[in-house]
Amino acid sequence: MTIRFDGRVAIVTGAGNGLGRAHALGLASRGAKVVVSDLGARRDGTGGSSRAAEKVVAEIKAQGGEAIANAANVSEAAAVQEMVEEAMQKWGRIDILVNNAGILRDKSLSKMDLADFRTVLDVHLWGSVVCTKAVWEIMRTQNYGRVVFTTSSSGIYGNFGQSNYGAAKTAMIGLMNVLHLEGERNNIRINVLSPTAATRMTEDLIPPDALALMTPESITPALLYLVSEDAPSRVILCAGAGGFARTLIYETEGIHIPADQRTPEEVAARFDEISDPSRQKMLTGAFQQTNKFVEAAARAAGISLKARERV
């Protein structure tokens, strides 16, 4: 089945360069009308210009597509609301939101100014929240929406000197998990993309001989799948240099320690049992963990829990 976006309207943030540009062009090439959103700032978030977004719009129009440029700062709710209203006035709906905008202000935590930590969170995390909130009721009313957040291996696995960036990027996973539950009844599917590509964000972090393999365009097929009509939901999809993988979060079955033995020494002594992956599971809601622990405690105490008493 060919994936198309005819009649769909997409907003792509950070779409003036790199990954966002590739995503915007990819969506437009398959029929989507695209809001090319880009503040036009430098890599550290300073400055601003609409030129980058306008250039991508020109590329889309040259290929026969429809697009408009917008230079909203994603962390400013009023500017984002104006962007959304402009799209609604022009096209009457918003089906897809790609939260891609980001900045870097890398330093080890001991050397990092707290203002730089907050600014990175503001753009990546708060900006994603602001943009998603701005389109949420539209998508609920339509009973259709596709939202993608952008995470990073720096957040999932860690990277020295990127505590601000890593914290913001890992937060996308928690945001996805909750909004998947909140949007499910209205056919709003929420996913996370974890890309690794040669962009101005990574050009001095990746060995030069690898950069040629890591094109932004090699990531976009994963993005297009995640925002398609038959997209999954609650998926962390990783992509880079033509490779595609999925990150999954599991929890071990763990153990129950009786009250009279519940000491840090016992936890240390039985840490291998606690870590045993043989019965690990993917949990799909916070209270699955709560119920697991409560039920184990009840079994140990010989208590029969009624279903309505469970959290």
And the tokens for 307?
């279903």
Active site (annotated) includes residue 225:
no
DSSP 126: I
State how beta strands 188-195 and 145-150 pair: parallel
- CB atoms near residue 85 (< 10 Å): 11
**What residues have CB less than 8 Å from 182, skipping those under 6 apart?**
none
Q: What share of the chain is helix, strand, coil (3-state, %, to 5)?
A: 45, 15, 40
Please identify which of the residues 157, 165, 225, 250 carries the catalytic annotation. 165
Alpha carbons 199 and 20: distance in angstroms, whole number: 10
Alpha carbons 34 and 91: distance in angstroms, whole number: 10
Q: Are 112 and 164 in contact (CB under 8 A)?
A: yes
Q: At what angle do helices 127-142 and 163-183 cross, to 10 degrees?
A: 10
Count, residues in the chain: 311
And the tokens for 298?
């009840």
DSSP 124: I
And the tokens for 216?
């932004």
Alpha carbons 122 and 196: distance in angstroms, whole number: 22
Alpha carbons 239 and 132: distance in angstroms, whole number: 23
- CB atoms near residue 162 (< 10 Å): 23
Residues annotated as catalytic are 165
